[in-house]
Chain A
Amino acid sequence: MSHSQASDKLMVELRDLNKWYGEFHVLKNINLEVKQGEKIVICGPSGSGKSTMIRCINHLEEHQKGDIVVSGIPLNEDIKNIEAIRKEVGMVFQHFNLFPHLTVLENCVLAPIWVKKMPRKEAEAQAMELLERVKIPDQALKYPGQLSGGQQQRVAIARSLCMNPDVMLFDEPTSALDPEMIKEVLDVMIELATEGMTMLCVTHEMGFAKTVADRVIFMDGGQIVEENEPHEFFNNPQHERTQLFLSQILQH
């Protein structure tokens, strides 16, 4: 299953990443390298730290120890670096987090206009193009509350893409969706993957992992327990914990 479009350029590097919530050690010595164009699927039981890990990458969560480098920019105290990294990294949330007081189109052009200082015409043209790609250009002038969950999540993906990110983070993008809407969102994500986007996805959609992922990472208790390419990961899991997890989620 080597459909990798990965080049050698490192997009995301996590070195000895550690994070605590007070006394609670959430992330323990995480080491991860993601090359340009690589697609990583991260799974694991709830509370294993998978969301926290990807949220550290764009500094939505602060880490206490270790280094994070995104697209060559070190993530440190410097607010300029943090801002620069956030411009390179797009994020899609479980609950979409669209801005309810703005139309779909306004949701998409707000950041390009005010952060990237793009002319409105250009931003709108680009937004319409991306809405076309996620197959909802006709909803551009509606408000998020008027759309279905699947449509909202596709808008959220388009909104992130409007910033032309190099890396996309997906934090359980289909967990809050009705079953019949999951496919329309996964289709968009698969299309994005085939176009060569670097992606880190926290998801339990194992079908998606098998078709798209270059590597699957299994986390438990704040640690990366197992890491392998999908075929091996699903057919020949090494660790007992991974075997248990897979038997739990695949038995249906």
Chain B
Amino acid sequence: MSSDISNSGHNPEGGPAKPKAPPQNKPKFWNDPKKRSLLFQVLLLSALGFVFYSIIDNTLTNLEQRGITTGFDFLTEEAGFGIAMSLVPYTEASSYGMTFIVGLMNTILIALMGIFAATILGFLLGVARLSDNWLISKASTIYIETFRNIPLLLQIFFWYYAVLRTLPHPRQSMEFFGTFLNNRGFIVPAPVAEDGFGLVLFGFFVALIGSWLISRWSKKRQELTGQQFPVFWVSLGLIVGIPLVLFMLSGMPLGLDHPELKGFNFKGGITVIPELIALWFALSIYTAAFIAETVRAGILAVSHGQTEAATALGMSKAKTLRFIVIPQALRVVIPPLTSQYLNLTKNSSLATAIGYPDLVNVFAGTTLNQTGQAIEVIAMTMAVYLTLSLLTSTFMNWYNSRIQLTER
């Protein structure tokens, strides 16, 4: 029997001992979950490493064979093409590096303009869809269901080709109060500061500081006496009023560079190109529909009992919204809102379709075509979008964690 124990373990039936495996303390390494997962990870990593190595090696070899130099030296070469709109001084003699800067700034401009407009419009529409007023809620519903369900590219085409390009020629421009609208864009007078305008700016900053002080004072006073003060309206009055009074007193030291029709187009003033307007409208209107749904979901996520409790305490609808509903809804709204901001920024690359000179159009388009530095240009462009998106989501996550803290 003693020889049996080491060989075949116990045999309860007492029959002929079959050669069973002895009881193992250690499983085979491919049956140990930890080692097994380690093995798979090592395999996966080496496969990935090999793929990347072969891609890079392959590319370098090919580039070498065709005589294309790699590297970022092309950025200092002269670009030699014009760009329709630029926020920084740019001429055809500028470098390819400058085309990158111009495109980047145009992308950031349209993204910021779009986020600003889409947020305001989206919040209004989201609240409107929940309104007790039948007409308002139905109008908002129709808006959302229409614009959310039409492809963005089509909407960009609509605003560009169907609306803005059908406007009259510069000679037949529509005129509103010194501004002109035609198929070359929207032309507004450019403000030119004259002597004494600094005083107006100074007044504006004084008013800003003043309103800040007032809001602090009114908060203190309310804590002490309970009296409320219309901070918003008084601040608005100060911020508009003080600069306006100073402006009048100092003899209106702001000249306007009025646009004038010279030949076939306008000279002077500031021209907002139709591509920017079309893209801005389409992006804002499209994204606003999604933001509206997000906002509606957030408000609906606040239980009805919260509103009832506030109502029973005598709080008005506006105060209930301000102190109870919105703070709780925001916690639900912020994460999907972040995705919408990211979507808008990335969707702005559709600018290419109508020729708005954004990063993709200028840099990953013209510059890439002229230099042939596909890898460098595409890598830089992708890096820009990645960076912009990561910055946005970092900021939004920070804001989200700040308001989440209030939960408990």
Contact = CB atoms under 8 A, between A and B. Distances in A.
Interface of A: 58, 60, 83, 86-87, 89-91, 93, 95, 97-102, 110-111, 113-123, 143, 145-146, 156, 159-160, 163
Contacts of A122: 226
Contacts, number: 85
A214 B167 CA distance: 79
Contact of A101 (B228, B311, B406): B406
Contacts of B13: none
A60 B303 CA distance: 15
Interface of B: 222-228, 303, 305-306, 308-316, 319, 323-324, 327-328, 331, 406-408
Given A86-B314, A97-B305, 10 more contacts: A93-B309, A97-B308, A100-B407, A101-B407, A102-B406, A114-B315, A117-B227, A117-B228, A118-B226, A119-B223
A120 B324 CA distance: 18
Contacts of A86: 311-314
B320 to A, nearest CB: 10
A100 B403 CA distance: 13
A125 B225 CA distance: 14
A247 to B, nearest CB: 33
A60 B311 CA distance: 8
A120 B327 CA distance: 21
20 contacts: A60-B312, A86-B311, A86-B314, A95-B305, A99-B310, A99-B328, A100-B407, A101-B331, A101-B406, A110-B315, A113-B222, A114-B319, A115-B313, A115-B315, A117-B228, A118-B226, A119-B224, A121-B224, A143-B408, A145-B407
A146 B407 CA distance: 10
Contacts of A121: 223-224
A156 B305 CA distance: 13
Contacts of B406: 101-102
A148 B109 CA distance: 51
B226 A113 contact: yes
A99 B222 contact: no
Contacts of A114: 228, 315, 319, 323
